[in-house]
Amino acid sequence: MLMTPPRSTREWAVGVISTVVTGIGGGATAVQYSRLQEWVDSVTGLVALGGLIFGCGLPSWPIVRWVFNFIEKNRDAGIDEVAKETKKVL
């Protein structure tokens, strides 16, 4: 995340917000799926859960950056060109 700093404050804010939201949602899903709720009974377990939640949020940072780069690259393109480019990428 520090190796490729955002170009603007808006991009940084969206990246941080999406990372936090994905960490909370993805972390909660991972905790529920793995049945790790009993880890909250100890300090060490809480630290481990915090690391898990942090780790679940990290993938959203590059995804947001890729989306910003795609939008910037196709800023002046028409909807048909964007659709073709998206289809080609996927």
Separation between Cα atoms, residue 23 and residue 39, nearest integer Å: 18
* Six-digit token string for 3: 């190796």
Is the pTM higher than 0.75? Answer: no
Q: What is the pLDDT of residue 42?
A: 93
- Provide the terminal-to-terminal Cα distance of the chain, rounded to the nearest Å: 24
pLDDT in tens, 61-80: 888 888 888 888 888 888 88
